[in-house]
Amino acid sequence: MEFARVCPFCAEALDPQDVFCEACGRNLASAEARGEQPAPAGTPAGPAAEAGPPAGGCVQCGAPQVSADGYCEACGAAQPRPRDHVERELSGVAAVSDRGVRHHRNEDSFAVAATSLPDGRSAQVAVVCDGVSSAARPDEASQTAADNASEALLTALEHGVAPEPAMRQAILTAAAAVAELGRTGRPEVGRNSPACTFVGAVAAGGVVTVGWVGDSRAYWVPDERGAEPYRLTEDDSWASGMVAAGLMSEAEAYADARAHAITGWLGADADDVEPHTVAFTPHVPGVLVICTDGLWNYAEAATDLADLVRPDARQDPLRAARTLVSFAVAAGGHDNITVAVLPVLPDPAAGYTETALDLPVLQNPHQAAPASVAAPAAPAAPPVPPLPPLPPRPPLPPR
């Protein structure tokens, strides 16, 4: 049997004549001659990576000649980039982003923040964005969206805007900022304008509000593992559109090569951006996990992902986020991976019980929000209704 040649550092497929890996830039001849084995892909980059190449030069061979694009001119090794692995924790909310194994750069971005509402209560914010690889400058798109949305959310919440309209406006603000990248930057032949997906969350006053466009997701995972976890978002994707339109069964749609082509995104090439929002009131402690498809591709069902969440996630959200990212890297790391973990406690001032969980209530921007429904007296919660279907939209090429 003939085996394909792959890079010993990043597992990228190689041609027989390759001397340097086009994905990670490593010198294949010298590595094979020395019999070196790579460090596990996705390992936290550490202080050296956060600060860029060390003052002494190449981190692989020590040569001082490192080009402006981040490759050693002596051995060809790619130098660590600040975004290869990023971790952040602030006021109880934490996020971790990793380049993964197969991609040459990290095109995901996130923002975590906290503020105070006008009545003095605290609010935690997390935003995760996934750059569309088939578009130009996807890393810039995701960073621009995360930064602008986070700032818009904090400003609105501090001025007393309710979380749901604040989330909708933040998504539209991020969409406008990403669209501006496409109008002002240098065009790239054969590529769409910068684009990204979006998912964000606000926890304030005992209510969790989630907003999204695209296929980045949010999951609710209760502390008590006997309680049922939920996926709170519905993908803007080709497969979801086909199922919603009744043109395919779920099994047929997700078996198609176009299944993960997104039909909703932020960017100049997007149609009218339609933010989706969902708000719910947890009656038990737990965590909200928001993530890119680099994680959920390996654990799509809410029950599967909940099994991976550490029991102490609410007490140590950064460690929980690290664990989920490490799982995705070990499972193959075929995409960038970004995970934010937002601990949530019930609001005792609202008189909530410790035994029931309100079902998600979708907020339709064209209708008034339904009145809250008291938790049922019976110990068993009613079954979760299916989320309403999203209309199909013209897809971007698969990422």
Domains of the chain with CATH codes:
10-82 (no CATH), 85-362 (3.60.40.10)
CA-CA distance, 194 to 176, in Å (whole number)? 12
Tally of helices (H runs) and strands (E runs) in the chain: 9, 14
Q: What are phi and psi of 17, to 5 degrees?
A: -90, -5
**pTM of the shown model:** 0.73
Please report the pLDDT score of residue 389 as a whole number: 47
For residue 279, what are its two tokens?
């708000």
Listed as ranges, residues in the chain with pLDDT below 50 are 1-3, 30-54, 351-394, 396-397
Residues 6+ apart with CB under 8 A from 98: 42, 44, 84, 85, 86, 106, 325, 328, 329, 333, 336, 337, 338
Please report the pLDDT score of residue 316 as a whole number: 97
How many of the other CB atoms lie within 10 Å of CB of 101? 24
Q: What are phi and psi of 114, to 5 degrees?
A: -145, 150
Please report the pLDDT score of residue 176 as a whole number: 97
**Cα–Cα nearest to 205, from 121, 289, 127:** 121
User: Strand runs (DSSP E) across the chain, as ranges?
Assistant: 85-90, 93-98, 108-116, 122-130, 195-196, 198-204, 207-213, 217-222, 230-231, 266-267, 276-280, 286-291, 337-344, 361-362
Burial 294-307 (b: 16+ CB within 10 A, else e): bbbbbbeebeebbe
How many of the other CB atoms lie within 10 Å of CB of 262? 28
Please report the pLDDT score of residue 90 as a whole number: 93
The answer to whether 146 touches 110, Cβ cutoff 8 Å, is yes
